[in-house]
Amino acid sequence: MRSKRPMQFKLAPDKAAAVAVLFIKKTGVQGKKIKYMKLLKLMYFLDRMALLRWGHPIVGGQYVSMDYGPVLSEVLDMIKRRGSSSEWESCVSEPFDDHWVRLKGDNDLLCLSEAEERLAMEIARKFGRHSEFQLSSLSHEVCPEWQDPSGSSRPIACESILKAANKSSAQILEIQKDAAETEMMRSIMESA
C-alpha cells in the first residue's frame, strides 16, 4: 500500500548551522568564507546521501530544483534572511560581495552525531575542491531528481530522490512509515 502524503522532514536549524560551519571551515576560502551557492550544493549532497544511506536527511526541510541545481529551500531563505534562526544568524553572515557568506561565530557541532559529522566530512573531501559552478553542473548530472525549472523553482519530493537512486517501492514505503512515525514523535515532544 502506498502512502498518499509525500514524505517530509522538518528543517533542523541547529544542524543546518553546524553543517554550514563545518563546510565553511573545511571547504571555504581560508576556512572563513564560501560562495553560498557552493554551500547550498554541499548541503544538498549531504542530505541526499544521508537520505539514501539512513532513510532520513541531516538538515531536512524542503528541497527544490532551481536553475543551478537542487537546493534546500529553507536554508536559502536563512542565507537571504527571509526566514532565519538564531543558530544560523550567530554562525553565518548575511551575503556580501558577489554571493559570499562568512563564518561569524563558531558552532561546536555537538548537535551532529559522529556519523553525521563523518558523512559531512566525506562530502567535504569528495566535493569541497569544486567551484560552485562545477558543483552546479555535477548536480545536474548526478541528481536525476533535479528537473529544469526554467527560471523558477520546482519542488523535489524525497520519494523522487529515493526512486532516482533505484530504491524499491517497498524500501520507499518503509522509509515513508519511519518518517511519519518520527514526525509524530517530534510533534508530541514539542507539544509536551
3-state secondary structure of 85: coil
Q: How far apart are CA 173 and CA 33, in angstroms?
A: 40
User: Which parts of 5-35 fold into alpha helices (H)?
Assistant: 13-27
> Smallest Cα–Cα separation from 157: which of 67, 70, 74, 49?
70
Cα angle 156, 128, 33; round to 5: 95
- Greater confidence, 184 or 161? 161
pLDDT of residue 185: 86
pLDDT in tens, 37-88: 999 999 999 999 999 999 999 999 999 999 999 999 999 999 998 877 788 9
Mean pLDDT of 160-182: 94
- Tell me the pLDDT band of 4, cut-offs 50, 70 and 90: low
pLDDT of residue 132: 97
pLDDT in tens, 87-126: 899 999 999 998 999 999 776 778 999 999 999 999 999 9
Query: Measured on CA atoms in the order 75, 19, 159, 178, is the torsion positive or negative?
Result: negative
Residues listed for the chain: 192
Mean pLDDT of 7-26: 93
pLDDT of residue 158: 96
pLDDT of residue 113: 95
Q: How far apart are CA 54 and CA 12, in angstroms?
A: 16
CA 158 to chain centre: 12
Q: What percent of the chain has pLDDT over 90?
A: 78
Quote the pTM value.
Answer: 0.93
The CB density around residue 7, as the number of other CB atoms within 10 Å, is 22
Domain boundaries, the chain: 13-191
pLDDT at 1 over 70: no
Three cell numbers written together for 85? 534562526
